[in-house]
Amino acid sequence: MIEAKADESVPSDGGDLFTIYEQIFEYPSGQEAMLTYLATKIQYPEDTFKEGIVGQVYISFSVEKDGAMSEVKFLRGVSVSIDAEAVRAECEMPIWNSGMQWGKL
């Protein structure tokens, strides 16, 4: 993995993975739209709802050059069913707007 700062002038051959971009990947219509999507898409599992289980699920994911989600996994979960629902909703997200580094996707 290559970590590059936006002001570096190292050309990319397309095979490098960057963690900092001049133009970052972005959910269509922005972060507020992403939060709205998640709020409407996630369905709280009935079994955990009845048991009163609540909490936050932390997820990591990568965005591919074409804006598709990949490597979606939970980092810290609450319960098996809540964790699975959070990962499901994340995997079904629309394609993100592409990021750019040195004028390339």
pTM reported for the whole predicted model: 0.69
pLDDT in tens, 31-58: 999 999 999 999 999 999 899 999 999 9
The structure tokens 């999507």 sit at 37
What are the residue boundaries of the structural domains of the chain, listed by start? 31-91
**Strand partners for 63:** 69
Cα–Cα distance, 68 to 90 (Å, whole number): 11
Look at 22 and 48; give whichever has higher pLDDT.
Answer: 48
